[in-house]
């Protein structure tokens, strides 16, 4: 793997110089008096507060006489002040962004401010909703059938209902809508496959349903529009630089939109005027006009940029970032977001199968959206990495050191190596420290996808520089060309979330949810997406592109706030590669300490010294009690006087020696019952590298984008031939075609007894029908799955009473504690296709009888006996499904074993050879008393092998030959003990034994030739 830090980066700074903090700390006025009596600060905060919090603005310009209200004002004002001098996260007027590039020297000089002021998206969504309900406008609106809608049984479903972006709380969110599927629904879908005016669509329906009153048809279509089965063109499209300008343009095309059009044009005109001259009164007028249309929680969104006069950083910083990245590659986190999804998928469909996404997300079918946990961390390599870091921390505590240092060499001997790593953005504070550069990780860490941190601020950058910056997307796509990146464009249920989304498109393809697109050729449709599972893991696949899909979002919105479809697709994509930056993001929560020393990796501070206080330290109560307790903690934990108070990525500078800051801490603790502190970056003020034309310094944070340019780090390509799910004759409900399927829970260590003694008695009462069993574990626990094949459905129904009575007997004897009847889903794809499933079930029948006899006649707790059953059983199946000895070895060798059991093989090699040779010469009954069972199983195995060969020749196989054979062997191993470790061990031992026999035969053949 090779890290490459890109030449362009993002600079983020607060919009006030840090000197204002020093000025405030060195005087006695409260924050209100300090700000209001400074002309520059007063002008700044009037505009900033009017955008961020009009309520606080009104309190500021109309100083409260009430003591409590004034106290609330000063506390809120102090937080905003501390943010505007010390927190570089862009937010309204308080902080700004710009682009920089690497060069031979460092010079960052702020210049002219850039404004990106637009109407709030939630406000605009409500305006669109109003317009869609206006009769005169509605008939002119162009609509199209929502591509997210699909047929599920007798219902048409809209799988993502956005509430027009007006949701105001969790309880108001409705996940999906459904209507009865009728010929009318199909007609609307056909007529509105592309945009069509509401009036014209109504006319087309009228032509077919000419006896239905026009008002009824109009009301029906209005309901479909309200429930989003029809999507209006007035909605903000997937990519849009300015939604208000877009809406005005659409209304203008309609002609005669009257007061709405003129009113929106007036608001847009005022916004344009404000961009030219930032007048406080103009802002008030904009608010007034917008409120006249519709009152909303927020009305405007503002991002600010800065046209730097000079914007370069020394290339040595770029090299530092790359050295850090190389270490992060080694200690990346592997998420296992789809752990439950894969288990449920395997149980429902098997492996080596691709299922339509529509079926996966349907709440009446698989309902896979509930089976993804985006924060679930896998176990591979975790203990090893954390142990190295914890050992260093313990050493620091013992030696009373404030800092630990980690280097690439500390992680060189890790056993787990990530296969592929993702790109990332990393946020770093850069300070000049005596001519050298000191880098500290920012509180927001960054993003698991390079470029994401910048996209929201496209309107704040110079177009030419931003285009150069975004070239990283093309570079990343070329490196990882084994999949196609698809951006998810989700119309947000909570409209204000749309304010932080990107407006520019950086992926060739995208998926729209709840909105529409203007480039239909690049839009991936829901029905084109399939979810597959094979040896490489779970993946998304496009049938039209013939390529694996990696779904992404190009914004910094918390992924858990997305809808279920988005979370599902992001979870699947998240498992494709390891995540370097996530190691830093999750590190504090993985290390359970009250206090952390400073942690450096390759010289970069990735974790500052931190202190965690909770209810065990601070009991709460009155302010005075809190203050006394807090002072004790300060001394006990040796806390600095000036620190950051941290809440997630929000942090403000706190002076613990000042009373007004303690009030902030008290209120914070009352709300969250914990306080987290981190040290101030060394050199934050004196070493600040950003200045303005008055030589005033600014806190800075730079966002560096890092790509892994090693093209060898690629994902394995799935085998796609005939992978589409075989639905025909797959589902067998209770008693259908004579199938009875039930699960037995609570068996404990008596499973073998039940299989070898109790189950045969039941089968005897049922007149010995065919059956098979397997061992399994689900959320209810370990259990046995029994599938019985009666002559026909009628016979099966008659036998249910017998089975129920038998189950009750097992419960009475406490062999089991629960039983569940279920639907039998045949794993048709896993075993090669619909032509092979019944011959395969014949193998299951005979193999189950074989294992039941083995369990009855042998001591399963005797390792030697168990070894014999595994070695002979695996070899027997392998022999009867292959052509000859060489084919046997070639097939089992394809599994790619790693000689994990080499020592065990050497110790008992001769015995293993005897077992396998006995199978090859059909003399295995010397070791196992199963002659009759093997004779019957051999016939069905040979029949299946012939059918499989035919399936392969006709290219109808839905899985590879190797996978099918290994699956059949797996089922034998599962029936024997259900322990995967045994299966892995004895498969390798059989492979090693076959290798030895093949080599011996070659030697003998060569010897004969030389005689």
User: Quick check: 939 and 946 in contact, CB under 8 A?
Assistant: no
Position 710 scores a pLDDT of 83
Q: Are strands 107-109 and 690-691 parallel, antiparallel or unpaired?
A: parallel
Position 723 scores a pLDDT of 77
Rounded distance, CA 838 to CA 826, Å?
10
Number of residues assigned to the chain: 1011
Q: What is the dihedral of CA 993, 997, 998, 1002, to 10 degrees?
A: 150
Position 171 scores a pLDDT of 44
- Tokens 């008939």 identify what position? 139
Find the helix or strand (DSSP H, E) in which 1001 lies.
Answer: helix 980-1009
Position 173 scores a pLDDT of 65
Query: Under 8 Å CB-to-CB from 369, ≥6 apart: which residues?
Result: 361, 564, 565, 567, 568
Position 724 scores a pLDDT of 84
- Residue 497 sits at the vertex; the CA angle it makes with 306 and 251, to the nearest 5 degrees, is 85
Strands lying side by side in the sheet with 509-513: 353-356, 529-534, 537-542, 547-552, 483-490, 509-513
Structure tokens at 300: 């405007």
Rounded distance, CA 389 to CA 560, Å?
29
- Tokens 């010469």 identify what position? 921
Q: In order of start, what are the domains of the chain with their CATH numbers?
A: 132-294 (no CATH), 611-680 (no CATH), 728-826 (3.30.70.100), 828-1011 (no CATH)
Alpha carbon of residue 248 to chain centroid: 36
Nearest CA among 91, 93, 99 for reference residue 41 = 93
Rounded distance, CA 847 to CA 866, Å?
16
Q: What is the reported pTM?
A: 0.89
Rounded distance, CA 966 to CA 895, Å?
9
Position 1010 scores a pLDDT of 62
- Residue 701 sits at the vertex; the CA angle it makes with 699 and 704, to the nearest 5 degrees, is 160
86 burial via Cβ count (<10 Å: 0-12, 13-18, 19+): buried
- Tokens 């209507």 identify what position? 179
Rounded distance, CA 625 to CA 510, Å?
56
- Tokens 């097939």 identify what position? 891
Position 172 scores a pLDDT of 56
C-alpha distances in Å from residue 878, one per residue of 803, 888, 967, 987, 1007: 35, 6, 11, 10, 28
Residue 430's CB is within 10 A of a number of other CB atoms, namely: 26
Structure tokens at 389: 């870091």
C-alpha distances in Å from residue 65, one per residue of 70, 79, 659: 7, 21, 22
Strands lying side by side in the sheet with 177-180: 149-152, 155-158, 177-180
Position 522 scores a pLDDT of 94
573-602 tens-digit pLDDT: 999 999 999 999 999 999 989 999 999 999
Q: What is the dihedral of CA 340, 344, 347, 349, to 10 degrees?
A: -130
Q: Output helix, strand, coil percentages for the chain, rounded to the nearest 5.
A: 45, 20, 30
Rounded distance, CA 385 to CA 20, Å?
43
Position 812 scores a pLDDT of 96
Position 720 scores a pLDDT of 55
Q: What is the DSSP string of 228-251?
A: TSEEETTS--SS-S-HHHHHHHHH
Q: What is the DSSP string of 249-282?
A: HHHHHHS--HHHHHHHHHHHHHHHHHHHS--HHH
57-68 tens-digit pLDDT: 999 999 999 999
Rounded distance, CA 285 to CA 429, Å?
39
Output DSSP code: residue 377. Answer: B
Secondary structure of 665-682 as H, E, C letters: HHHHHHHHCEEEEEECCC
20 burial via Cβ count (<10 Å: 0-12, 13-18, 19+): buried
Find the helix or strand (DSSP H, E) in which 114 lies.
Answer: strand 112-119
339 burial via Cβ count (<10 Å: 0-12, 13-18, 19+): middle
User: Quick check: 546 and 443 in contact, CB under 8 A?
Assistant: no
Question: Three-state SS for 545?
Answer: coil
Output DSSP code: residue 491. Answer: -
- Tokens 């370069």 identify what position? 312
Position 9 scores a pLDDT of 98
Using N-to-C axis directions, what is the helix angle for 863-880 and 980-1009, rounded to 10°?
60
User: Quick check: 524 and 486 in contact, CB under 8 A?
Assistant: yes
Mean pLDDT in order along the chain per 10 residues (1011 residues): 94 98 94 97 98 96 96 95 95 97 97 97 94 92 96 94 74 78 95 96 96 94 96 96 96 85 96 96 97 92 98 98 97 95 92 92 93 93 95 96 97 89 96 94 95 97 96 92 94 84 94 91 95 91 95 92 94 94 94 94 98 91 93 95 92 93 93 95 95 97 95 53 78 94 95 95 97 94 97 96 98 96 93 96 98 89 93 98 97 92 95 97 93 97 98 93 96 97 97 96 72 54
């Amino acid at each position: 793997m090779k890290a490459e830090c890109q030449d362009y980066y993002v600079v983020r700074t607060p919009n006030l110089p840090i000197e204002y903090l020093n000025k405030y700390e060195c005087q006695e006025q409260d924050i209100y008096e300090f700000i209001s009596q400074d002309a520059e600060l007063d002008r700044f905060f009037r505009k900033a507060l009017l955008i961020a919090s009009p309520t606080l603005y009104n309190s500021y310009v109309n100083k409260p006489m009430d003591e409590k209200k004034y106290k609330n004002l000063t506390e809120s004002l102090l937080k905003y002040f501390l943010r505007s001098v010390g927190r570089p996260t862009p937010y309204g007027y308080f902080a700004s962004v710009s682009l920089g590039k690497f060069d031979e020297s460092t010079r960052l000089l702020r210049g002219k401010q850039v404004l990106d002021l637009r109407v709030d998206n939630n406000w605009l969504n409500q305006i669109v909703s109003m317009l869609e309900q206006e009769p005169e406008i509605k008939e002119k609106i162009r609509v199209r059938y929502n591509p997210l809608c699909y047929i599920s049984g007798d219902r048409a479903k809209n799988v993502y209902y956005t509430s027009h972006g007006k949701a105001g709380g969790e309880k108001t969110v409705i996940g999906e809508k459904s209507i009865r599927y009728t010929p009318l629904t199909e007609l609307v879908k056909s007529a509105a496959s592309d945009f069509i005016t509401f009036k014209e669509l109504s006319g087309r329906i009228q032509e077919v349903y000419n006896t239905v009153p026009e008002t009824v048809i109009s009301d029906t279509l209005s309901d479909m529009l309200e429930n989003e089965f029809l999507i209006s063109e007035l909605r903000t499209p997937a990519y849009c630089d300015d939604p208000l300008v877009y809406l005005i343009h659409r209304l203008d095309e309609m002609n005669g939109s009257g007061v709405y059009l003129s009113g929106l044009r007036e608001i847009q005109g005022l916004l344009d005027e404000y961009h030219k001259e930032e007048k406080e009164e103009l802002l008030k007028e904009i608010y007034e006009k917008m409120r006249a249309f519709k009152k909303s929680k927020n009305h405007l969104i503002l991002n600010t940029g800065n046209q730097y006069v000079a914007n370069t950083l020394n290339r040595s910083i770029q090299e530092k970032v790359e050295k850090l990245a190389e270490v992060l590659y080694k200690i990346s986190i592997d998420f296992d977001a789809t752990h439950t999804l894969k288990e449920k998928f395997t149980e429902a469909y098997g492996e080596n199968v691709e299922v339509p996404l529509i079926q996966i997300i349907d709440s009446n079918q698989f309902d896979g959206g509930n089976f993804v946990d985006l924060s679930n961390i896998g176990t591979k390599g975790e203990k090893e990495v954390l142990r190295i870091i914890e050992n260093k921390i313990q050493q620091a505590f013992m030696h009373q050191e404030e800092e630990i240092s980690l280097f690439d060499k500390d992680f060189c001997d890790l056993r787990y190596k990530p296969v592929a790593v993702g790109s990332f953005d990393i946020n770093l504070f850069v300070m000049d420290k005596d001519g050298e550069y000191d880098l500290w990780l920012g509180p927001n860490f960054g993003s698991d996808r390079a470029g994401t941190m910048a996209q929201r601020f496209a309107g704040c950058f110079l177009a030419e520089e931003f285009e150069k910056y975004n070239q990283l997307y093309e570079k990343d796509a070329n490196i990882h060309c084994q999949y196609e990146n698809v951006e998810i464009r989700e119309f947000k249920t909570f409209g204000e979330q749309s304010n932080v989304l990107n407006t520019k498109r950086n992926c060739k393809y995208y998926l729209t949810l709840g909105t529409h697109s203007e480039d239909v050729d690049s839009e991936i449709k829901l029905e084109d997406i399939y979810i597959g599972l094979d040896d490489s893991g779970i993946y998304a696949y496009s049938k039209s592109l013939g390529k694996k899909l990696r779904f992404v979002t190009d914004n910094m919105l918390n992924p858990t706030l997305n809808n279920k479809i988005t979370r599902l697709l992001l979870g699947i994509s998240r498992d494709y590669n390891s995540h370097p930056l996530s190691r830093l993001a999750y590190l504090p929560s993985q290390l359970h300490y009250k206090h952390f020393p400073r942690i450096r990796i390759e010289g970069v501070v990735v974790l500052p010294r931190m202190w965690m206080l909770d209810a065990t330290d601070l009991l709460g109560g009155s302010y005075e009690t809190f203050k006394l307790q807090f002072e004790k903690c300060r001394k006990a934990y040796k806390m600095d006087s000036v620190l950051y108070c941290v809440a997630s990525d929000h942090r403000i500078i706190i002076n613990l020696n000042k009373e007004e800051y303690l009030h902030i801490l008290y209120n914070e603790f009352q709300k969250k019952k914990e306080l987290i502190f981190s040290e101030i970056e060394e050199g934050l003020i004196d070493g600040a590298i950003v200045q303005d034309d008055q030589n005033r310094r600014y806190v800075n944070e730079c966002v560096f984008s890092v790509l892994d340019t090693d093209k060898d780090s690629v994902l394995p390509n799935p085998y796609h031939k005939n992978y589409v799910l075989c639905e025909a004759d797959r589902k067998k409900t209770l008693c259908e075609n004579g199938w009875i399927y039930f699960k037995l829970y609570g068996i404990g260590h008596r499973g073998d007894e039940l299989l070898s003694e109790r189950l045969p008695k039941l089968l005897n009462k049922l007149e010995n029908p065919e059956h098979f069993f397997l061992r399994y574990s689900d959320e209810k626990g370990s259990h046995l799955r029994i599938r019985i094949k009666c002559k026909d459905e009628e016979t099966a129904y008659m036998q249910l009473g017998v089975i129920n009575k038998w189950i009750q007997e097992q419960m009475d004897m406490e062999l089991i504690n629960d039983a569940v009847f279920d639907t039998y889903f045949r794993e048709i794809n896993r075993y090669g296709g619909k032509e092979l499933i019944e011959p395969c079930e014949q193998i299951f029948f005979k193999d189950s009888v074989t294992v039941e006899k083995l369990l009855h006649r042998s001591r399963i707790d005797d390792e030697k006996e168990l070894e014999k059953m595994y070695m002979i059983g695996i070899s027997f199946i392998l022999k009867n499904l292959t052509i000859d000895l060489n084919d046997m070895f070639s097939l089992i060798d394809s599994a790619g074993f790693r000689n994990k059991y080499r020592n065990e093989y050497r110790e008992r090699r001769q015995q293993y050879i005897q077992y396998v040779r006995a199978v090859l010469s059909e003399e295995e009954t010397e070791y196992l008393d199963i002659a009759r069972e093997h004779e019957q199983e051999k016939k069905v195995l040979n029949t299946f092998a012939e059918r499989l060969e035919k399936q392969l020749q006709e290219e109808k196989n839905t899985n590879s030959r190797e996978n099918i054979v290994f699956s059949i062997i797996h089922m034998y191993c599962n029936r024997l003990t259900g322990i995967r470790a045994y299966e892995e061990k004895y498969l390798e031992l059989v492979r090693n034994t076959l290798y030895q026999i093949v080599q011996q035969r070659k030697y003998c053949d060569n010897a004969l030739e030389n005689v």
